Structure 1
Amino acid sequence: MTLTTSDISQLNTRYCNSLTQYSRRQTIDVHIGDIPLGSNYPIRVQSMTTIDTMDTMGSVEQSIRMIEAGCEYVRITAPSVKEAQNLENIRKELRKRGYKTPLIADIHFTPNAAELAARLVEKVRINPGNYADKKRFEVIDYTEAGYQAELERIRERFIPLVKICKEYGTAMRIGTNHGSLSDRILSRYGDTPLGMVESALEFLRICEDLKYYNIVLSMKASNTQVMVQAYRLLVQKLDKEGFKPYPLHLGVTEAGEAEDGRIKSAVGIGTLLEDGLGDTVRVSLTEEPELEAPVAKALIDRYTNRASLQKPIAPVEASPINPFQYFRRNTLEVLNIGGHNVPRVVADYSAIENIQIEDLKGIGHFYLPLPDKWRMNDLGADFIYTGTNKISFMLPNGLKEITDYNLWKDIADKVHTFPLFTPGQYMQQSAKHGSLNFLKLTIGELTDTLLNQIKHDATLVLLIDTYNEHAMPELRRLFFTLIEEEIQSPVIIMRQFPLLTNDMLQLYAATDVGGLLIDGLGDGVMLGTALLALADKQELVKLLTRYNQTAFGILQAARTRMSKTEYISCPSCGRTLFDLQETTAMIRKRTDHLKGVKIGIMGCIVNGPGEMADADYGYVGVGKGKIALYRGQNVIKKAVPAEKAVDELIELIREDGNWLEPEALEQ
């Protein structure tokens, strides 16, 4: 059922200790070998091997690289009994070499493999969507008696594993994946966060009946909105129904590679970490697994001293928005910002003096001298903020300029340039633009008088910033104030960072901004740095280019503005039937101009039609050298030879009218 805004006051929206103060959720301890998990311990880092599990020495060597990169748990796939049996050889060799890192067996479809693995390693992960169910993509109309009979069948199949785990002291993760919900769950709850939660709780109830509590839970999805909503709802349901507070394993499935994978992971994982949720993190990148651990650690380390560094934020009794379902905040449409417009990107060029035409290439605007016209790519910024440095040439139609009010009031052309006010200027000055004005403020600058003036100004867009270490919650609290005051001015989210590496910028910005966008808060993004004193102008332009790319990446990862092709690619494992990194790069090279198209690239049928639930098209390994092509979750072509599969994929996209020929952009 879709909830309206008026329903929210009746909804129990509590899913964390505090929406304004960093406070980690308290959980029970889970014992996993010599490295326990839970709120009494640091947030743990883990990853998964990609080598064939039957390759004992290859698995050992890769595990060691992962451990030395920071992995505290190593997960290894066990798709059948023979792989489960070989876990013992891998474990013995690691122990022989002095590595005591706990091993986790990853199980799909095969209870017998899980029951064997539980006797050999420290933890097993089961997926409730396919542990005791076969997925046929059927809609089944269950009677209540029929549904209970299915639950009893699952119980009988699952109890042996629970008893083995109790006997051997083995931990278990009940890990729901959005894309592999059973037909039974989908038939009753639909393809929803609630369905994900109930899928796990069915198995959890069996564990608790048997007094087995050494359990970790996860709710993973490639759609960051669904992933965040499912974890929040899980915590709320555990509390409401009297379950123990089990630790949470955080992850975004099939996040992809490189910048896109890091941003998407941070939007989902970082949003939950901000609210004190999460006890272990796995970042799923289509890269070597030892590259995942440093990304997870960078996300986690941001919270090591958060409680001591945060500045107080006015508390809120309950969220005025529904944290379990996406609603975009209702705003006015001011020029092309807010209302039904996609979120806008503002490029901060205020530190660049004497801006030239070529400087705009970094924000997606290209001037072509021969035809004497401008071109814009898919990452073309919508506004450029120049501060006190007015641009001296005519801008392209797709780009508008913002200057500081003190400059704007004295320029001749006030029609195509828009002013940015401080709160003091805004309260005192009557000279404003007729259609669009910007007001930059922080939560500490909000007064009743200012709020009242904002409420009655239909030309105003707010540019909000924070200097609090606990940045995202303070910005969220500002949004809550606007909602409580029934102010509908659009809001551009501004974040300024010190000079950071590319990875750190992507992770921090994606967390702070993406966490708001996921909740429908924000009508645009502006990224900048407080340390713009770079002597080299070209280096500064390169830095601002990174900010522009990151801003668009965040909007895409939060599912609020699709500006490029999205690749839902799994991180590879021992089940993978082709080189995922090479294949993903090949498909990206041929299709990365297809704006808004989502392509799933899955190494095996386990991570096939289910895990790429959000994709428009799928490329799935079904055998050595054989690929299945999907439209949505429906297989269209089976057993396509790998050397022809990319061409066949493109032909499928072409048949649907979604193919565009790539254009070479002259620069």
Structure 2
Amino acid sequence: MKDQLNFCDSYFQYNRLKTDPVNVGNVIIGGDNPVIIQSMTTTNTLDTLATVEQGIKISEAGGELVRITTQGRREATNLEFIKKGLMERNCTVPLVADVHFNPAAAEIAATLIEKVRINPGNFTGGAKKFKEVVAGSEKDQEGLRQIREKLVPFLRLCQKHGTAIRIGTNHGSLSDRMMSKFGDTPEGMVESCMEYLRICKEEDFKNIVLSIKSSNTRVMVHTVRLLVAAMKREDMRYPLHLGVTEAGSGEDGRLKSAVGIGALLSDGIGDTIRVSLTEPPENEIPVAAMLVEHYGKRAGHVPVPPVETDFYSPFKYQKRSTHQVVNVGGEMPAAVVVDVRGKPIISEGMETPEIVICDHDQLSGLPESWADVIKVVPAESYEDSSSVVYPLFEVDENWISQEGALFLECRNSDLTAGMKELLKEKKNVVILLESDHPNNTADRRAFFLTMQNEGLTHPVIVSQTYDECTDEDFQLKSAADSGLLFLDGYGDGIALTGFLQSVPIMVSTGFGILQASRVRFSKTEYISCPGCGRTLFDLQSTTAKVRLQTGHLKGLKIAVMGCIVNGIGEMADADYGYVGAGPGHISLFRNRELVRKNIPESAAVEELVQLIKNNGDWHDPVD
């Protein structure tokens, strides 16, 4: 296990993972070059003008690569005219053909544009037949031979034309061979990628970028780490493209992307990124740019003092064991904490937090609906008058003599030998873990590891304050900073404070990050793809309709997928799926099982609602 942990240079200092540079037209991915931002057109690839216009919008927004879906030979051939149209408009952004199921289309594209994306799960063998393939059997060996027969000529063609490729493995499209041998697992995703890489290495083909994606942030992060560790064992240094597939739209899509992509960028992994939103593609670029800038500021920081990492589990979720204090820790769901000191309190239409930090004189002005919410007040004004009010201490105050439960503001640097002994003596403490270190994620990771090393099981709430920034920047930065911790099983709650942010924004961001990190589901989760030339209906308006009808439901996962390419697999976690089946027609799924086929699009949202009702998962919205 120790050598496998070497998926990044350091757990305690930000360093970019060393990769070999790959030229894609006038852009270089990997090496010492900045992280490249990209997006994908949603237009019909045969509509040259519309695709050119959208490519220009992406480029003008700051996109440095533009990917275009390339279903077949006609679409591949038309890439030449799209490229020409862009050049005529003085747009030199490199193009990437996105190919599924059609090696012939990939070969045409390789002669016309700078890069081709192929998916190991779809490149050979056609559509999934969901047949069992025994590992090592003749059928298994034949599958590998088919890959070699299709891949080697393609690599030689790319070598001849100076074309780069992306080997892009998706959670939703593993081949029958991989599914039979590994199941729907990170190990299967990694091996799917590695067997292609081994052939590339044998052919001495080096112009490769890798991606390994999922709509499940936990799967996505742990799988990319596994891939990096596998490459290191086989002496490979290919650059990596990061993204959370089908992240959705609005606040939810941004938080989910920031959690997944941020967790990897935090450890220096990632040479190019795409934020997949069910919105116009140019909207993705500022989100990606903010994440790149956020982590770029960490370069050269003072290292966090290293600690033993024996308890760290980077390849699978392993929740840190804690005991319960008040309503935090143990088997309790991760708590949302809000600090309302100095802020007007608006509770209408807002989710209710578990804990509120306030000044003593604010207690009487809290909303009636918060009657059962735990209240925490600064220790100097605390009066032992209520079973739901607790004192908040700083480490330099006399907290050890306080009787009963208390909350304690603490930093990693406070965890001295003396502090550890005090915590061993006093168990009924909830720690509010803050950080003023430039790399606050690594700083907190060290704190959690120290607690585990010392056998300290106190519940810990991840707490961070952000200075003057917009609501979107507040949400992206907080999700990026804390996502890694929750994905790895650290944190019994979250407390976010924004200098300019309202109480509802702070609360909704807390709930959103916990959901994006998959530790607590408090609302409907939408797994919706951003759309592309394969999309068979208007994704943005349809997703909005589905949200309007189902947004009041709690804890359900609903997938809205433009086509079947990744549909069934990427919605593996979804309770219900709404998937394009053909022009103007939709198929409905429940738990990956097809239950209604080829429904007219005009009736499909109502049919989805009826399906949810028929299975007992519906309740009417509360006025």
TM-score range, shorter chain: over 0.9
Q: Judging changes above 3 Å, is the alpha-carbon distance between structure 1 residues 426 and 232 closer, same or farther for their aligned structure 2 residues?
A: farther
Contact 1:576 1:603 in 2 (8 A): yes
CA-to-aligned-CA distance 1:594-613 (integer Å, 9 cap, x gap): 11111110111113212222
Q: Does residue 576 in structure 1 map to residue 545 in structure 2? A: no
- What does residue 405 of structure 1 align with? 379
Structure 2: how far apart are the matches of 1:319 and 1:72?
40
Structure 1: how far apart are the matches of 2:372 and 2:546?
30
**What letter matches 2:434 in structure 1?**
D
Structure 2: how far apart are the matches of 1:564 and 1:655?
20
**What letter matches 1:233 in structure 2?**
L
Shift of 1:126: 0.5
- What does residue 4 of structure 1 align with? none
The ranges of structure 1 where at least 4 consecutive aligned residues each deviate by more than 3 angstroms after the TM superposition are 138-146, 316-319, 387-390, 393-398
Give the TM-score taking structure 1 as reference length. Answer: 0.90
**What letter matches 1:399 in structure 2?**
V
Range with bigger deviation, 579-588 or 154-163: 154-163
- What does residue 341 of structure 1 align with? 332
Q: Does residue 314 in structure 1 map to residue 305 in structure 2? A: yes
**What letter matches 1:622 in structure 2?**
A
Contact 1:461 1:492 in 2 (8 A): yes
- What does residue 9 of structure 2 align with? 17
Structure 1: how far apart are the matches of 2:362 and 2:402?
19
CA-to-aligned-CA distance 1:289-335 (integer Å, 9 cap, x gap): 01111111111011233224x33310246463110000111111223
Contact 1:23 1:307 in 2 (8 A): yes
Any stretches of 5+ residues in structure 1 without a counterpart? 1-7, 365-378, 533-541
Contact 2:308 2:450 in 1 (8 A): no
Shift of 1:100: 1.3
Q: Judging changes above 3 Å, is the alpha-carbon distance between structure 1 residues 351 and 526 closer, same or farther for their aligned structure 2 residues?
A: same
Range with bigger deviation, 194-203 or 606-615: 606-615
**What letter matches 2:567 in structure 1?**
G
Q: SS where residue 299 of structure 2 aligns? A: helix
Shift of 1:446: 1.6
CA-to-aligned-CA distance 1:200-246 (integer Å, 9 cap, x gap): 1111111111110100001110000000001100000100122x210
Q: Does residue 567 in structure 1 map to residue 559 in structure 2? A: no
What are the equivalent positions in structure 2 for 1:77-116 lying under 5 Å apart? 77-116=69-108
- What does residue 452 of structure 1 align with? 421
- What does residue 329 of structure 1 align with? 320
- What does residue 186 of structure 1 align with? 179
Structure 2 counterpart of 1:471, from 440, 444, 447: 440
- What does residue 472 of structure 2 align with? 503
Structure 2 counterpart of 1:430, from 401, 404, 409: 401
Structure 2 counterpart of 1:150, from 125, 143, 151: 143
Q: SS where residue 12 of structure 2 aligns? A: coil
Q: SS where residue 392 of structure 1 aligns? A: helix
Q: SS where residue 106 of structure 1 aligns? A: strand
Structure 2 counterpart of 1:658, from 597, 617, 622: 617
CA-to-aligned-CA distance 1:486-511 (integer Å, 9 cap, x gap): 11001000010012112211110001
Structure 1: how far apart are the matches of 2:478 and 2:384?
36
- What does residue 576 of structure 2 align with? 617
Contact 1:264 1:557 in 2 (8 A): yes
Range with bigger deviation, 334-343 or 40-49: 334-343
**What letter matches 2:619 in structure 1?**
L
Structure 2 counterpart of 1:222, from 206, 215, 229: 215
Structure 1 counterpart of 2:357, from 385, 393, 404: 385
Contact 1:256 1:570 in 2 (8 A): yes
Contact 1:347 1:381 in 2 (8 A): yes
Contact 1:384 1:401 in 2 (8 A): yes
**What letter matches 1:300 in structure 2?**
V
Structure 1 counterpart of 2:23, from 31, 40, 43: 31
- What does residue 590 of structure 1 align with? 549
Shift of 1:415: 2.2
Structure 2: how far apart are the matches of 1:613 and 1:415?
44
Structure 2: how far apart are the matches of 1:198 and 1:90?
35
- What does residue 260 of structure 2 align with? 268
**What letter matches 1:451 in structure 2?**
K
Structure 2: how far apart are the matches of 1:60 and 1:660?
45
- Number of equivalenced pairs: 620
Q: SS where residue 519 of structure 2 aligns? A: coil
- What does residue 123 of structure 2 align with? 131
Q: Judging changes above 3 Å, is the alpha-carbon distance between structure 1 residues 546 and 444 closer, same or farther for their aligned structure 2 residues?
A: same
CA-to-aligned-CA distance 1:4-55 (integer Å, 9 cap, x gap): xxxx6x5631210111111001110101011111132110010000010000
Structure 2 counterpart of 1:493, from 454, 459, 462: 462
Q: Does residue 520 in structure 1 map to residue 467 in structure 2? A: no
CA-to-aligned-CA distance 1:559-608 (integer Å, 9 cap, x gap): 00100000000001111111111000000000011111111101111132
Q: SS where residue 36 of structure 1 aligns? A: strand
What RMSD, in angstroms, separates the aligned Cα atoms of the two structures? 1.6
Q: SS where residue 431 of structure 2 aligns? A: strand
Q: Judging changes above 3 Å, is the alpha-carbon distance between structure 1 residues 117 and 492 closer, same or farther for their aligned structure 2 residues?
A: same
- What does residue 389 of structure 2 align with? 417
- What does residue 410 of structure 2 align with? 441
**What letter matches 2:553 in structure 1?**
L
- What does residue 641 of structure 1 align with? 600
Q: SS where residue 456 of structure 2 aligns? A: coil
Q: Does residue 285 in structure 1 map to residue 285 in structure 2? A: no
